[in-house]
Structure 1
């Protein structure tokens, strides 16, 4: 579910951008293929702090999928973009530059299925779809909701089903148990994300019922929105439930997580719509990971079992 913003960026500004921070690659060597067959590939090990490292390292290339993958993956590797700082989906290892978390783990797993090296770049959320459309990246995997609006820009292969949640102060001094309790309260959200859309919907519902409006505070990222709650300026912040649960597990933050029922939607891996060979390859790799049980083990490593999908669906967001 998107809780971060997406805006159109000027192509010139994007192309002038420097290489993103936090890039991490899994480089492997490959011998020249014989008799038209796909070459064997030796891939680097997953980062040691990656919770799903053992699962990733055990994944071997699928010969048929690797043969059908775009030829550029063999020479250039799979170029992936995400936005680090969204636990447990995307976080930095202790070195401050290696991306780990479920999204990087799945990207590495897909690359291994396709017999390709992978580079995972960390970019601001707004830059990700433009980066894919200009060819800088092959796909984005960044806790991004598959929505009809985004489907006009990219084609998604949906990889989890997730819902929204709220973070409130520990002990719930504002006595918030659901959206109806937000009337007359201050709520912090990420600007132009689905959390903002939810907040605006709850505000409209309050007004419709003749209750005080919701005061919605908008910020560039989740951390800024969370600070409004811990600092007392807002009584709640809306985000993805998996992120809310992760934050609530940190005793230093002194916050509690609440789920928002009925908000579940698919998150997708976004690619250029005309990059059909890659779309088919990513879908095939995800289906293979699901069938083998490796996908379930990746989720389990990050305690995200409830997000599982049964098959890879293209543009399943409605």
Structure 2
């Protein structure tokens, strides 16, 4: 069931406060790469301290691990158990701290690969990473080439028609603006008449379009939506060509921590006003894998290894208390 509006407002407030704290400590929220953003935000080749933790950017990740659980591993479809590997499809490694390349420019690191590794541990499967472009994640899942997508994918009602989901993180969108701009974003009216950047084909774009239409209905100016597919939006921000950019809060807040030139001026649920957005492990509908994924995620949440991974990447504020199968998602337009 969708959360009551009062609960959503409270949750949004808590998320905003947590996001602001994380940024202040030196690191976001609702699913951006989840939505297909591909901004190349890789940090400098050195240590970073988001959320007070030093981040390992080398190929030698020394990832958090956990033990196999036979009862959960038994839920894996026989074909996957037989091959002994879990084919994980992820984005091209360009969105820290979600999924990006280590300083060897080959090894994929980030919170998504770490969570995939934990899932593989519980299921007794070797994880095989397959970095592809955003649209090819779904092409590969559809064809059966890959078993599961772990790439900051948001649960939506439209996607639930083709895929099964096991949630593992809150989906929080962030609004990034130049430091000192005075802009604060809590809803549609705050962006009336503003120029806002976004990546096309994403949940963020859907949000901006719906907000712009809301403003028009209410007699306010529409949002001037500008489209970017890479990091050129930062030049637009610095030059004042756009007032803000909306994307996955984790990657935007990570960028804020690196440069100190911008700030997060608001966060919002990736599920919209009536649904608390969730990021989920995504698999082809009806292939029998989702229960195993759900069981593995709940096991790592229970045993604390999940919490260690989120803390490692400064995403403590995006933790979920339990993994859900196919919860309410972003509504259809």
| TM-score class normalised by the smaller sequence | 0.7 to 0.9
1:82 CA displacement: 1.0
Match of 1:302 among 300, 307, 313: 313
Match of 1:250 in 2: 258
Q: Secondary structure at the match of 1:195?
A: helix
1:281 CA displacement: 1.2
Match of 1:165 in 2: 174
The answer (yes or no) to whether the contact 1:164–1:260 under 8 Å persists in 2 is yes
The answer (yes or no) to whether the contact 2:32–2:249 under 8 Å persists in 1 is no
Match of 2:236 in 1: 228
Q: Secondary structure at the match of 1:148?
A: coil
1:305 CA displacement: 1.2
Coordinate RMSD, CA, aligned: 2.2
1:192 matches 2:204: no
Distance 1:61 1:48, change over 3 A: farther
Q: Give CA deviations for 1:12-40 in whole Å, capped at 9, x if unaligned.
A: xxxxxxxxxxxxxxxxxxxxxxxxxxxxx
Distance 1:271 1:235, change over 3 A: same
Distance 1:275 1:226, change over 3 A: farther
Structure 1: 5+ residue stretches without partners: 7-46
Distance 1:75 1:159, change over 3 A: same
The answer (yes or no) to whether the contact 1:186–1:214 under 8 Å persists in 2 is yes
- Distance in 1 of aligned mates of 2:300 and 2:81: 19
Distance 1:67 1:220, change over 3 A: same
> Counterparts of 1:1-318 in structure 2 under 5 Å?
1-3=30-32, 49=58, 53-56=62-65, 59-71=66-78, 72-83=80-91, 84-172=93-181, 175-178=182-185, 179=187, 180-221=189-230, 223-251=231-259, 254-261=261-268, 263=272, 264-276=276-288, 278-318=289-329
Q: Give CA deviations for 1:159-202 in whole Å, capped at 9, x if unaligned.
A: 11122110101221xx3111433222211101021111121122
- Distance in 2 of aligned mates of 1:112 and 1:279: 16
- Distance in 2 of aligned mates of 1:134 and 1:53: 33
| Paired residue total | 271
Larger Rg: 1
- Distance in 1 of aligned mates of 2:151 and 2:327: 17
Q: Secondary structure at the match of 1:249?
A: helix
- Distance in 1 of aligned mates of 2:287 and 2:294: 12
Q: Secondary structure at the match of 2:277?
A: strand
The answer (yes or no) to whether the contact 2:86–2:147 under 8 Å persists in 1 is yes
Match of 1:40 in 2: none
The answer (yes or no) to whether the contact 2:32–2:173 under 8 Å persists in 1 is no
- Distance in 2 of aligned mates of 1:235 and 1:48: 32
1:311 CA displacement: 1.4
What TM-score results when the alignment is normalised by the length of structure 1?
A: 0.78
Q: Secondary structure at the match of 1:53?
A: coil
- Distance in 2 of aligned mates of 1:288 and 1:48: 27
- Distance in 2 of aligned mates of 1:81 and 1:137: 6
Structure 2: 5+ residue stretches without partners: 1-29, 37-55
